[in-house]
A and B are shown apart, each in its own frame.
Chain A
Amino acid sequence: MTNTEPSLNEPQLSHATLPRGAQWLVGVAAVALGGLALVLGVGIVGAAVIALLGFLIGYPLWALLVENRRSATDKLVTGLVWTAFAVAVIPLIWLVYTVVSRGAATLSPEFLTYSMRSVTGDEQGGLYHALIGTLIVTGIAAVISIPIGIMTAIYLIEYGKGNRLAKTITFLVDVMTGIPSIVAGLFAFALFTLLVGPGTRFGFGGGIALSLLMIPTVVRSTEEMLKLVPDDLREAAYALGVPKWRTITKMVLPTAIGGIVTGVVLSISRVIGETAPLLVASGFNPNLNTSAFDDSPMMTVPVFIYTQLSEATAKGVEYAWGGALVLFILVMVLNLIARIVGTIFAPKTGR
């Protein structure tokens, strides 16, 4: 063992660093590079890609020259993560912008309060009938799916605990999650053709079709929430001499209620925009139909959008965008409700 100078053994805790705001400097340079490419006639997309590449290469390279390898890798990966994030978000913002900007002009009291009854050409009309239809059909789906879904999840988590029946149900629920939505529509259509008569299209059929799609998501989300309730708490309740069913209804469900409600609302917003099953099972109707059980078709917003778009007239396209905006607002409101409910019911820590 050779005796080295103590100074050589001292750890190197500091090194040269990039100046503050280096990323902005590189960013401006990269944008300038992109601008140059634009002037040279590359096109806007190409210029953006060039600017991005310039940043992703230039910034780590500078860090490599001034700092060290680890810092350069860090800056490269950070850049890539932000790029991926932007790639994911830009289409979303773009979509929101498009729907709002093209739909806003159509959104008017008339549009919301008139049906398409006896509307020809560019006359007045609206989606009142479709809006009511969507609320009724989705409401039916929710009324069917929520109790069935929650009770199935309770069986799977609280009673089944990995026995064969529970495993089979879990498997079938997974299979149901993967059912193409149009198949659910065809099933409901076939079911009511058999029960009521050939070619039966009505609101209740649409509700059945949607509930087939909704039940698995309700089961899945409720299951996850019930799993989060610690077994400690169940045992604490049992040790107080509380029967199992009371433990479930008065302790487990209240503890998990925030997550369950959030999951249920999100599953509603998931099915509210379904088009294919409603096209098949609920049908088209230019008139207002408020009875889900009458043997007459019930219009819904997604089907309204589809019909208006296939009219291919200028007014039809406008109506389609207006319908898209209405649907978008519905889903947005439901998501907001889910958020609010989630925070209201979250167990409080009181610190």
Chain B
Amino acid sequence: MSIQVKDASIFYGDFKAVEDVSMSIKPKSVTAFIGPSGCGKSTFLRTLNRMHEVIPGAYVEGKIQIAGQDIYGPNVDPVAVRRKVGMVFQRPNPFPTMSIYDNVLAGNKLNSKRIKKSEADSIVEGALRGANLWNEVKDRLGKPGMGLSGGQQQRLCIARAIAVQPEVLLMDEPCSALDPISTAAIEDLIHELKSDYTIVIVTHNMQQAARVSDDTGFFNLKAAGQPGHLVEFNPTKQMFTKPDNPDTEAYISGRFG
């Protein structure tokens, strides 16, 4: 599913966090957001599945369309949006009370969907294979998810997110808590997932953006306390070789701030 954003501004109460973002995210591609801390890239990502509404007083102006439907339309159920737009967080957050198996099925279990054992088994195996975790955990599916290493936990969270078969996968700095080897595993996974999902990833690591993404958006702040805004949105190749905006070039080449 493609995502169209037009003039989106995001507020926390009176505070405007992000201003006038417009972009078009292509289906079955990887789009990366880069930029300094506090520029609103994570906030913007969270508006794509209405997760920012969890914070009291947060709201959005402008239009965000997924597959042609305005996700902020009057009759839209945020729960239905989130079923189509999955999310992976900065820190791995498997459910501590659940086994590896139950964590993968959490989307179904928490919604009390009745599924046959054989069907559940195939969902778990499919999702874990999809997340490149199956071979590491197939002998201990009944063990708690918290017992895995950080990188494995993050891949478990990705398996959990894809087990509900979303169309879009949002990733909020998924590798910032991981070591280089686990990071490489997640990046390989992102390449594989691209064929089935539209992926939007926020990252602090510009090399990572260059490695995994097709398009890149650069967010920046005019000054501290000002809202963040989208400086440039272009194919990744162009961003990292000859960006349109001198600010982007300054940031990418490390001549920033």
Give the B-binding residues of A (Cβ under 8 A).
161-163, 230-243, 246-247, 250-251, 254-255, 347-351
Query: B138-149 toward A: CB 8 Å interface, digit per residue (1/0)?
Result: 000001111100
Query: How far is A210 from B87 in the complex, measured between Cα atoms in Å?
Result: 47
Closest to A162 in B: B56
Chain B residues within 8 Å of A243, by CB: 79, 111
Q: Are A239 and B49 in contact (CB under 8 A)?
A: yes
The answer, yes or no, to whether B112 is at the interface (CB within 8 Å) is: yes
B residues lining the A interface (CB < 8 Å): 49, 51, 54, 56, 79-80, 82-84, 86-87, 89, 91, 93, 95-97, 106-107, 109-112, 143-147, 157, 160-161, 164
| A246 and B96 form a contact (CB under 8 A) | no
Q: Are B110 and A237 in contact (CB under 8 A)?
A: yes
**What residues of B have a CB within 8 angstroms of the CB of A347 in the complex?**
96-97, 144, 146
- CB <8 Å contact, A232 and B89: yes
Q: Which of A162, A240, A349 contacts B82 (CB 8 A)?
A: A240
Cβ distance A234 to chain B, nearest Cβ, rounded Å: 7
**Chain A residues within an 8 Å CB radius of B89:** 232, 235-236, 239
A235-B51, A236-B157, A349-B146 as given contacts; A242 in contact with B107, CB under 8 Å: yes
Q: What is the distance, in angstroms, from B164's C-beta to the closest C-beta of chain A?
A: 6
Q: Give the shortest distance, in Å, between B140 (CB) and chain A (any CB).
A: 8
Contact A230 B160 (CB under 8 A): no
Q: Which residues of B contact A238 (CB under 8 A)?
A: 51, 54, 82
Given A239-B82, A251-B95, A348-B147, output 15 extra A-B contacts at Cβ < 8 Å.
A230-B93, A232-B91, A235-B89, A236-B93, A240-B106, A240-B107, A240-B161, A240-B164, A241-B164, A242-B79, A242-B111, A250-B112, A255-B95, A255-B96, A347-B144
Q: Choose from A162, A235, A350 the contact partner of B147 (Cβ within 8 Å).
A: A350
Whole-angstrom distance from the CB of A58 to the nearest CB of chain B? 50
Contact A240 B110 (CB under 8 A): yes
- CB < 8 Å neighbour of A246 from B91, B110, B146, B161: B110
- Contacts A250-B109, A250-B110, A351-B147; is A236 near B95 (CB within 8 Å)? yes
Q: Are B79 and A349 in contact (CB under 8 A)?
A: no
* CB contact between B93 and one of A161, A162, A232 (< 8 Å): that residue: A232
Q: Name the residue of chain B whose CB is nearest to the CB of A258.
A: B97
Complex Cα–Cα for A236 and B54 (A)? 12
* Bound Cα distance from A162 to B93, whole angstroms: 25
Residues of B within 8 A of A251 (CB): 95, 97, 106, 110
Q: Are B109 and A241 in contact (CB under 8 A)?
A: no
Could you say which residues of chain B place their CB within 8 Å of the CB of A348? 96, 144, 146-147
